[in-house]
Amino acid sequence: MFGRLGAPEIILILVVIVLLFGAKKLPDMARSLGKSARILKSEAKAMKSEGQDNASAPADPPAAATPRTIKAAPGDVAGARPVTEPSDRTTQH
């Protein structure tokens, strides 16, 4: 039913998209989609490196942990803010 998409079909789809959303909103939508993709990629990389660190890390965490900085997007200095993580109270009595 859905065969290969040729040039006329792709052009028709792009024209419909421009008519629906307007030419002014498309660059903003593409920019926000790019930011979302970068954030998702950086978070996935952080989770992957965190998993590797946990596998090779000792069981006891360091006594004085440095606060982490969360950035809104890679390279975004204005949106960076330090975060204090809650302490693990399950092992403390």
Q: Is the dihedral of CA 74, 62, 52, 88 positive or negative?
A: negative
Pick the closest to residue 65 from 82, 90, 49, 85 (CA basis).
85
The encoded tokens of residue 15 equal 């024209």
Which sequence spans correspond to the domains of the chain? Answer: 1-57
**80/24: higher pLDDT:** 24
Instruction: Note the pLDDT of residue 21.
Output: 83
Measured on CA atoms in the order 37, 38, 40, 44, is the torsion positive or negative? positive
Q: Is the pLDDT of residue 78 over 80?
A: no
For 12-64, how does the pLDDT look when each residue is reduced to its tens digit (9 = 90+)? Answer: 998 898 888 888 888 888 899 999 999 999 999 999 888 777 666 555 555 55
Model-wide pTM > 0.95: no
Q: What is the pLDDT of residue 88?
A: 60
Residue 60, phi then psi, degrees to nearest 5: -90, 130
Burial of 39 (0-12, 13-18, 19+ CB in 10 A): middle
The encoded tokens of residue 63 equal: 């006594």
pLDDT of residue 63: 57
- Give me the pLDDT at residue 59, please: 57
